[in-house]
Structure 1
Amino acid sequence: MRQIESNVTELVKNKIGNRRVAEADAVKINNYRELVEEIAKLSYLNKDYLLFFRGQNYDYRNKAGSSTFYPSIYRGDYLSKKEVRHRFDILQGASRLLVDAFESRKLPGTQELKRKKYIQWSILQHYEVCGTPLIDFTHSIRVACSFALNSCVEKSAFVFVFGLPYITNRVSHNSEHDLVNIRLLSICPPSALRPYFQDGYLVGTEDVLDEYESKQELDFNNRLLAKYEIPNSSDFWGKQFPPIPQEALYPENDQVLDICKDLKFEADRELQSGDVGDFLKAWSEVESLIVGKTVGSRKRFTPQAAIRAMCKEGLIPKSLEGDFHNVRRFRNELVHAPNSMSASKFSLYMKRVRELKAILSKVLVV
C-alpha cells in the first residue's frame, strides 16, 4: 500500500517533531469530548481521506520502535514464506467449512457467501476464527474507545486514526492506494450480528496474498494519521457520553458466532506434517549450540546440564533455563503425539525455539 501524505494537528505536531507518527509516543487526551474535537481538526486537515479508527489496550511496536498494524495472517517476527502459505491453506479450509455450515443451516446470504471470498474472509476475521489478509477498523470513535477500554487493565489505552480512500461500494477497491475496504454492515448476512453492533470495516492490501516483496508494505502504519492515549477511567467518558458495554459489542444469540466457535476448533487443529520436521530441525540446532559449548571444563555436557551450568555462570539469563525446558517438553509431546497438537500451540513453540536459537547464537561460540 502507498505511504500516506498527511497533515497533522498542532497537538500531534508538537508530539512527533520530525518523526513519523508511528515512531512517536501517543498524544495524551483527557476525555471523550476532547478526543472528538481533536479528530474533527484532523479530519478537516485531511479532506482527501476518510478517517477510520482502531482501539487497543496497548500500543504494539516492532523492534525499530514503530507502532505496527498487520492483518492477522501476516503477524509474527519470524514469518517464512512457507508459514504464510500454510496460514492461507488454513484460511482456505476454514472458508470451505464456513460455506458448508451456512448451507446445512439454510441461512440467509448463503448463495452470496459461496461466490465471494471477501464475505467469507470478513466473517472468519471478525469472529477470530483464523488469520486473514484483512484488519479490523471502525468508523465510530465511540466504538473504538469502547474497544480500547473494555477489558483494559492498564492506566490508559490507545485509539489510532487511519486515513483511507473514500469508499464507493460495499467492497471498495482503490488501485491508486492498493487497498480494498469492506463495509461489513452491507456485506455480512443478517445472521452475523456482531458487525452490525460494531460499525465494522475490514481493510486489506489489494492483490497481495502470500507473495510480497517486503512485509513493510502490508503494515497499516503506512496509513496512520495520529495515535492518542486515553485514560482508563470513568472520567474519560463523562456524563454525556456513555461507553458501549461489552455485551453490546459482542451480542448474544448470534448464530454465526456459534458456527465460528466450531470452525475455530477445526482451524486450530490444522498442522501439516512438514511443520514437525521444521521444528525438530530447529530444536536440533539449539541442542547442538548448547552441547558444543564447554562450560568450566573440557567434558561435554548433556543439553540440560549445559544450559543449567551456563545459567549458573551468568553466560545466559536464568529465564532461558525455564524456556529451554518448556520447549523441550513440547518437543517430546510433538514427537509422541503430533496429531494432538493445534496449529496455534505449534506456532507459539516454533517462535520460542527460534528465539532461543537466536539468543544462544549471539552469546555462545561453538
Structure 2
Amino acid sequence: MNEVTENNLWGYFQTPQKKASLLKKTTAARNAAGHRVKSYRELATKIAELQFMNRDLVLMFRGQNGDYRNSRSNTTLKASLFRSEAGQTTPPSAGVLIRRFEQLQRAEEQLIRSYEDKKFIGRERLQRYRILRWAILQHYEVCPTPLLDVTHSLRIAASFATMGANTDAYLYVLGVPNLAGAITASAEAGLQIIRLSSVCPPAALRPHFQEGYLLGEYPELLSFNDKQLLDHYEVDFGRRLVAKFVFDPVKLWSDPNFTPASNVAIYPTPGEDPLLDMTSKIKASLV
C-alpha cells in the first residue's frame, strides 16, 4: 500500500508533546518511542483531537502489548502472512512465504466446504470473493493471511493492548480513506478495508463485539508471485501510522468510569459463536 501522505497530517508519537504535531513522514512516528498517556480519558481526548485535525482520514486502532520493530528500528505492522519468523527482524524467506500461501489456499477450500455444510448466510458471496474468505480466516486466527486486524473502537483496541501486558502497552492509530460499504477499495491508497460485521453471518458474535475491520493490499496479493512485485517495506501497514501511544496497562484503567472490555466480551465461547467452532476445526486440520 502507499504511505499516508495527506497534506497537514497530524500525529502523536513522542513525549513530551502537549498537542498534536505536524507529521511530515510516517517514519517519524514509527521510529519514535511513542507518546505516553496516563489514563483512558487522556487517550480518548487526544484521539478526538487527531480525528478533528485529520478530517480527510478515518482513524482505525490496533492495540498490542509490544512495539515490534524492523531492522531499521521502525515500528512494523504487517499482515500475519508477511511477518518475520519468531525472534527475527528480517523478512521471511521465499520458502516460508510459499508455504504460507499454500496453507492459506487449503484453509480457503475447507472454509468454503464448511460454510456450505452449515448453510450459513452469505455462502455464495464467500465462494465468489477471496477477500471475504481471508477476512474470516484472519479474524478467527486460522492461519496467516495478507490482512491486518484493526478496530474502529478505541476501547476495544485499548483492551487488547492491556490484555496480558506486564509492562508498557501500545495503541497504534492508522489513517485510512473514507469508508463506503462492506468493502472499501482505494486504488490511490493501494488499500482495501473490510468491515467484518458485513462479512460474517449474524450468528458470529465475535466480529460484532470487537467492531472489527481488516486492512489489506489493493489489488489483492493472490500468490507468492504477486508478492514478488512489491518490496517487503511496501506491505507494512506502518506506512499508514498517524500516532503511537504508550501507557501503563494498569494505570490506563484506574478511573472506574472507564473500564476495559472483558475477555468474555471480546472472545465469545464456541457455544456462543458457531463460526468459532467451525474455524477451530479447520485450524486443527492444517497442522
What range is the shorter-chain TM-score in? 0.7 to 0.9
Structure (1 or 2) with the greater strand fraction: 2
Displacement of 1:155 in angstroms is 2.5
Alignment partner, residue 83 of structure 1 = 96
* 1:326-337 equivalent positions in 2, closer than 5 A: none
Q: Secondary structure in 1 aligned to 2:242?
A: strand
Match of 1:231 in 2: 248
Query: Which residue number corresponds to residue 266 of structure 2?
Result: 249
Aligned length: 267
- Tell me, yes or no, if structure 1 residue 103 matches structure 2 residue 116: yes
CA–CA distance in structure 2, aligned partners of residues 115 and 75 of structure 1: 27
Q: Which has the higher helix share?
A: 1
Q: Kindly indicate whether residue 146 of structure 2 is the aligned counterpart of residue 143 of structure 1.
A: no
Q: Which amino acid aligns with 2:218?
A: E
What SS does structure 2 have at the residue aligned with 1:98? helix
What CA distance in whole angstroms lies between the structure 1 residues aligned with 2:91 and 2:24?
32
SS, match of residue 87 in structure 1: helix
Q: TM-score, normalised by structure 1?
A: 0.69
- Over aligned residues, Cα RMSD in angstroms? 2.0
**Which secondary structure state, in structure 2, belongs to the residue aligned with residue 3 of structure 1?**
coil
Give deviations 1:205-230, integer Å, cap 9, x for gaps: 11252323311011011000011012
Query: Which residue, 265, 268, 272 being the options, matches 2:284?
Result: 265
After TM superposition, give the deviation of residue 123 of structure 1 in Å. 0.8
Give the 3-state SS of the residue equivalent to 1:20 in structure 2. Answer: helix
TM-score after normalising by structure 2 = 0.87
Distance change >3 Å, CA 262–CA 222, structure 1 → 2: same
| 1:213 counterpart letter in structure 2 | L
Residues 289-317 of structure 1, C-alpha deviations (whole Å, 9 max, x = no match): xxxxxxxxxxxxxxxxxxxxxxxxxxxxx
Find the aligned partners of 2:131 and 2:254 in 1 and give their Cα distance.
35
Give the alignment of 1:302-317 within 5 angstroms.
none
How far did residue 78 of structure 1 move? 4.3
State the identity %: 36
C-alpha spacing 1:208/1:107, structure 2 compared with 1 (3 Å): closer
Higher RCO (C-alpha under 8 Å, 6+ residues apart): 2
Q: Is the 8 A contact 2:78 2:148 kept in 1?
A: yes
Letter in 1 for 2:190: D
> What stretches of structure 1 of length at least 5 have no aligned partner?
269-366
Q: 1:39 aligns with which of 37, 47, 51?
A: 47
Report which stretch shifted further, 56-65 or 7-16: 7-16
How far did 1:237 drift? 4.6
> How do 1:130-279 and structure 2 match up within 5 A?
130-152=143-165, 154-209=166-221, 210=224, 211=227, 212-233=229-250, 236-252=253-269, 253=271, 254-268=273-287
Task: Flag the 1:107–1:235 CA change in 2: closer, same or farther, 3 A.
Answer: closer
2:87 is matched with none
In structure 2, how many angstroms separate the alpha carbons of the residues matched to 1:71 and 1:94? 17
Structure 2 unaligned segments of length 5 or more: list them: 85-89
Mapped to 1, the partners of 2:24 and 2:128 lie a distance apart of 48
Displacement of 1:12: 6.8
Choose from 4, 7, 14 the match for 2:10. Answer: 7
Distance 1:214 1:102 in 2: 35
Q: Do the aligned residues in 2 keep the contact of 1:12 with 1:27 (CA within 8 Å)?
A: no
Q: Deviations over 1:60-81 (max 9, x none)?
A: 1112111100001111134233
- What does the per-residue CA deviation read over 1:90-138, in whole Å, with 9 as the maximum and x for residues that have no partner? 1111011011112122223222222221221111000100011100000
Instruction: Report how far residue 202 of structure 1 moved.
Output: 0.4
CA distance in 1, matches of 2:141, 2:130: 16
2: distance between equivalents of 1:246 and 1:37?
25
| Mapping 1:115-130, distance limit 5 Å | 115-130=128-143
Q: Deviations over 1:162-183 (max 9, x none)?
A: 0000111211100000001000
